[in-house]
Chain A
Amino acid sequence: MDGRPSEPDGFRDFVESRSNALLRSGWLLTGDWPSAEDLVQTALAAAWPRWDSLIRQDAPEVYVRKIMVNTFLRWRQRRWTGEIATGRLPELQAYGDAFAQIDARQALIAALDRLPARQRAVVVLRYFADQTEAQTAEAMGCSVGAVKAHASKALARLRDAPGLAELMTGGVAS
């Protein structure tokens, strides 16, 4: 008895194919990889026991993203000071254009850090995860109107964020 439930069919394929995208969303939400990983693991651990049901509904990714966003919002609400891995490694050796990449990432995270948690979540779900307004509203447990309002306010704030306008109109490749 090792305490683990048995692995559901299709779970591994999903994790292998989608963990990259989920982690990137997590990074946009939290601003660092350890927290992003924690967020994705939390969501996937919640999805595991319900996997068969989620597959039947053809909505595993919607569910996982919903858990990620709600977990993120909960952390922010509580101003979590618990056991989150916060170690930030310096970027690996960076030369030439790599410096610009790092600057771009830092500018992006700094801009997102200026947003309230719900606006940040809308930005990630709508514009990075390419979810519709209805899907975003469902994931966040709010109305479509609220999503639109959050998106509008977020865009206004991002417009004023230092360095972000240049990134949006061209900028550095990842």
Chain B
Amino acid sequence: MNTEERQLAEMLHRVTPEPPRRVTVEDIAFRLANEAGTREYRKPRGGRREYREPGTGRRGPRGRGPRNPGRPWHRGWAPALAAASVFVVAGVSAGAAALVSSHQGHHATSTADGPPPSSVSVSSTPSTGPSQPSASTGPTWPPEQVAGGTWGAQLINRQAFTPGSLAVAPDGSSLYAISQGYLDRINAVTGEVVNEVPYTSPIPGFPNRPVVAGTAVWVLTSYSGTNAVLAGYSLSTLAPAGTVTVPVSGQLPSQPQGVLAGGSDGNLYVAAGSSVAAVNPQTRQVTKRITVSGQVSSLAVAPGGGKVAVAVGAFQLKTYDLATGSQLSSSSMNFGGAGGNLIATSGGVWGTVGVGMTQRVWFAPNGDLSQVVMVSQGAGAGLYTVPTSGGGAVWLGGSHSLACANPDTGQVLARTAVPTDHSIVEYFGNVTVAGHGRTYALYQNQAAQQSGVATLVPPAVCSG
């Protein structure tokens, strides 16, 4: 080596940082297990996969079967099951969450002559610990136009997910959603569920969306007593990435709705009783705690990362400076219920109030409830009405209409009617926009017994 080469070598060794974590044998083992599972499934005995109705051996109707024979039928919409199911919109259980419970479990045995189960090394773990992932592949169904093509809606996946649980990876390659007993990773192009990990929300009936931070997707695994526990799973495989236990100050609220949020600083923020805790997902440490007067039932971090908005009681909206922990504002609204499902945009804070049939969405300019505007009326859509933010707009779902709104002013920019199917309502909600602009929503049609992830092509005005 000459002098210049030696200088380069020395500089590379000097400047290259130490990795934040090391690769472990367990990481490799999980990877191999997942790859083995995928290979195993891709070569099923008996060759070609066919979807057959359980118990009958008959081939099911096209487009009505499960998207994954590894989890045959039970996660799709079976007429017999649906007939026996109960779909409750109204009530404290916040409506459409009941959809998920109307379906049977995940890992049933394979159908008579269907392929073998695709799951690999699925283990049951304590509710507070990270679970092991399993990999699965299945047929990808051709996208199917739904709801009369509302905003170009096409169903790319046929599975029942918990409303309000859809999240997307930073690179837009994967979606994450909660189904009955599982956290799923979904191929954002094909709609195929490619990994799953056992997961049950510790707050049934209230939406707590998975949050993507760093290289992991985080969910609450415990939210009671003196601790809130988060578990992270790899964005690419759902392999466990770690857990974080957040001690609670005071008591946890009785109706937590959106108590885990991500900040633009890469941190996770958790409503921990009468405080907000900031968690560094990389070090898995609580790095900051902001004391709040009252129990925090929901929180959202402002886009710039400078402040956090919290809903307290029934209800006050307060904002705090994240750097100093000082309270910046406080206002209240008497609507007979707690505020929840907060999101913060450049123009203010959005959220819901009420549950079930009465749940509606509000917008508080600059986080001030004295100026509150109701942007959607109670539509009986339960969790499908939970507002989301992405792609330069705020999205409002429901059973009557799907709308996008200006994140600065709260003004609705475009709205489209969600049709009914033989007088039975259909639902759109949890609109999620990937970084590359592709737009997704959760969809459900009770009459056709269809549900799953749909792609949307909203009007240009929605993209700001």
Contacts and interface: CB of A to CB of B under 8 A. Distances in A.
Interface of A: 2-5, 7, 11-12, 15-16, 19-20, 22-24, 27-28, 33-34, 36-38, 40-42, 44-45, 48, 81-87, 89-90, 92, 101, 104-105, 108, 123-124, 126-128, 130, 151, 155, 158-159, 164, 167-169, 171-174
Contacts of A38: 236
B12 interface: yes
B16 A44 contact: no
B88 interface: no
Contacts of A15: 23-25, 28
Which 9 A-B pairs give the minimum distances between C-beta atoms? A3-B120, A2-B121, A23-B19, A127-B9, A86-B171, A3-B33, A3-B36, A19-B23, A89-B266
Nearest to B12: A128
B282 A92 contact: yes
A43 B31 CA distance: 11
B224 to A, nearest CB: 29
B213 A87 contact: yes
B14 A4 contact: no
A98 to B, nearest CB: 11
A16 B25 CA distance: 8
Interface string B19-38: 11111110111011101110
Contacts of B170: 86-87
Interface string B149-193: 000000000000000000001110110000000000000000000
B16 A28 contact: yes
B16 A108 contact: yes
A14 B24 CA distance: 10
Contact of A168 (B8, B37, B234): B8
A169 B213 CA distance: 37
B17 interface: yes
A86 B234 CA distance: 11
Nearest to B237: A83
A84 B172 CA distance: 10
Interface of B: 4-5, 7-25, 27-29, 31-33, 35-37, 40, 120-121, 169-171, 173-174, 212-216, 234-236, 265-266, 280-283
Contacts of A126: 5, 9
B421 to A, nearest CB: 35
Contacts of A155: 4-5, 8
Contact of A174 (B16, B169, B283): B16
A101 to B, nearest CB: 8
A105 B17 contact: yes
A20 B18 contact: yes
A16 B171 CA distance: 30
Contacts of A22: 23
Contacts of A34: 214-215, 235
Contacts of A40: 23
A12 B236 CA distance: 23
A86 B434 CA distance: 13
B236 A20 contact: no
Contacts of A159: 4
A81 B171 CA distance: 8
A157 to B, nearest CB: 12
A167 B106 CA distance: 56
A47 B197 CA distance: 26
Contact of B16 (A11, A45, A84, A128): A128
